[in-house]
């Protein structure tokens, strides 16, 4: 049988550089972290546009509707049908109306995040569904790109 | 003047283990919750319900209609503003030419870079890929020259969608 050697020797490495690095990393990730819940979905690939500008002030009452490349509606993270979307939007409108205070349906911005391959007709149906629920301000979302166009003189 | 007392160097051994544990936990937390957010931007469009829209006042300029048709794959087949067609060729893409035409239209009314009161209605095929709609809106709504953003026509609406 082997006998364990009782060799207790405390190896003391210098931890300082490692701790420095780890703190740097923490600081980096802390600064970059972003808790605002941006509704970004992997299923949606936004169309590119060099003129899409981020809103200067955050929307007061945003509602995000998304559409995947297969023209399926994603509302609050779930795939739903067009009829369900209509119901959900009407409910949403009722809640805003019931809340009373000064938010009006026309102040609500409906953010449309549609995939670049989505069928336009389906996107329009989504807009019409929101219009039926009496929303009227829309933001068509695109992904910003570098300026690549030749400007016409 | 104060004189520093020399030779009082007592090495204090701190136990770093618990701190390092916590620090690593924090590090893991931030790495896991890290999400790259791509820059996104919006085109703001106001579209009231067509039913309660009032009749166009007579002094208002009638809306231009941009017709976009799609081929079988949903790609852009033709682009027409009113009756005027725009096509891709060696001088630039159809959208570049559309933008050039719009710049001409807007400059006739006011100085360069003034947003026009003109309204454009988008009449798109049901199957057209959405990317082309955004390209068209980009072409109509403005352009960037020398890093400066110029506005063209910002009043945009859609014709009712019709399924084939």
Query: Spelled out in words, what is the top-level CATH class assigned to the domain A48-144?
Result: alpha beta
Q: For testing the chain A interface, which of B11, B69, B106, B134 should be mutated: the one with the most A CBs within 10 Å? A: B134
Per mean pLDDT, which range of A107-116, B81-90, B109-118, B138-147 is the poorest?
A: B109-118
What's the mean pLDDT when you consider all of chain A?
81
Answer whether A144 touches B (CB < 8 Å): yes
From chain B residues 15-54, the ones with a CB under 8 A of any chain A CB are: 16, 19-20, 23-24, 26-27, 30-31, 33-35, 37-50
Contact B131 A117 (CB under 8 A): yes
pLDDT band at A147 (very low <50, low <70, confident <90, very high): low
Q: How far is B44 from chain A (nearest CA, A)?
A: 4
pLDDT band at A144 (very low <50, low <70, confident <90, very high): confident
What's the mean pLDDT when you consider all of chain B?
78
What pairing do the DSSP bridges indicate for beta strands B148-151 and B142-145? antiparallel
Domain edges within chain A: 48-144
What pairing do the DSSP bridges indicate for beta strands B84-86 and B116-124? unpaired
Give tens-digit pLDDT for B20-65. 899 999 999 988 888 777 778 888 887 776 655 555 555 566 778 8
Do the Cβ atoms of B99 and B136 come closer than 8 Å?
no
Do the Cβ atoms of B48 and A137 come closer than 8 Å?
no
Nearest Cα residue to B18 out of B10, B7, B26: B26
Q: What's residue A152's pLDDT?
A: 41
Answer whether A119 touches B (CB < 8 Å): yes
Contact A152 B134 (CB under 8 A): no
Do the Cβ atoms of B109 and A152 come closer than 8 Å?
no
Q: What's residue B4's pLDDT?
A: 65
Q: What's residue B109's pLDDT?
A: 58
DSSP for B103-147, written as a single string: HHHHHHHSSTTPPEEEEEEEEE-TT-BHHHHHHHHHHHHEEEETT
Q: What's residue B59's pLDDT?
A: 53
Do the Cβ atoms of A35 and B34 come closer than 8 Å?
no
Question: Quick one: average pLDDT of A123-141?
Answer: 87
Question: Quick one: average pLDDT of A124-136?
Answer: 87
Chain A residues whose beta carbon lies within 8 Å of the beta carbon of residue B163: 121
Contact A131 B43 (CB under 8 A): no
Do the Cβ atoms of B86 and B80 come closer than 8 Å?
yes
What pairing do the DSSP bridges indicate for beta strands B116-124 and B64-70? parallel
ipTM entry = 0.71
Closest Cβ opposite residue B39 in set A29, A54, A119: A54
Q: How far is A106 from chain B (nearest CA, A)?
A: 9
Closest Cβ opposite residue A121 in set B37, B135, B163: B163
CA end-to-end distance (rounded Å), chain B: 94
């Amino acid at each position: 049988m082997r006998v364990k050697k009782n060799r207790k020797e405390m190896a003391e490495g210098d931890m300082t550089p490692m701790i420095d690095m780890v703190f740097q990393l923490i600081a980096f990730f802390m600064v970059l972290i972003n808790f605002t819940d941006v509704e970004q979905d992997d299923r949606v690939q936004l169309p590119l546009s060099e003129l899409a500008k981020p809103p200067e002030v955050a929307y007061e009452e945003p509602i995000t509707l998304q559409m995947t490349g297969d023209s399926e509606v994603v509302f609050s993270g779930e795939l739903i049908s067009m009829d369900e979307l209509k119901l959900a939007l009407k409910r949403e409108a009722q809640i805003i109306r019931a809340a009373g205070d000064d938010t009006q349906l026309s102040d609500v911005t409906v953010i449309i995040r549609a995939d670049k391959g989505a069928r336009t007709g389906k996107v329009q149906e989504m807009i019409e569904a929101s219009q039926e629920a009496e929303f009227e301000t829309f933001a068509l979302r695109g992904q910003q790109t570098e300026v690549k166009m030749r400007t016409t003189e | 003047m104060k004189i520093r007392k020399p030779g009082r160097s007592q090495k204090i051994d701190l136990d770093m283990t618990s701190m390092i544990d916590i620090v690593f936990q924090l590090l893991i937390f931030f790495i896991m919750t890290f999400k790259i957010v791509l820059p996104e931007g919006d085109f703001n469009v106001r579209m009231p319900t067509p039913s309660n829209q009032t009749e166009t006042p007579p002094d208002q300029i009638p809306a231009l209609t941009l017709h976009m048709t799609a081929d079988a794959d949903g790609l852009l087949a033709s682009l027409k503003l009113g009756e005027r067609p725009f096509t891709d060729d060696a001088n630039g893409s159809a959208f570049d030419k559309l933008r050039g035409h719009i710049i001409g239209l807007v400059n006739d009314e006011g100085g360069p870079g003034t947003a026009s009161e003109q309204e454009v209605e988008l009449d798109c095929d049901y199957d057209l890929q959405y990317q082309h709609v955004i390209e068209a809106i980009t072409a109509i709504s403005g352009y960037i020259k020398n890093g400066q953003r110029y506005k063209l026509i910002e009043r945009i609406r859609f014709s009712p969608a019709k399924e084939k």
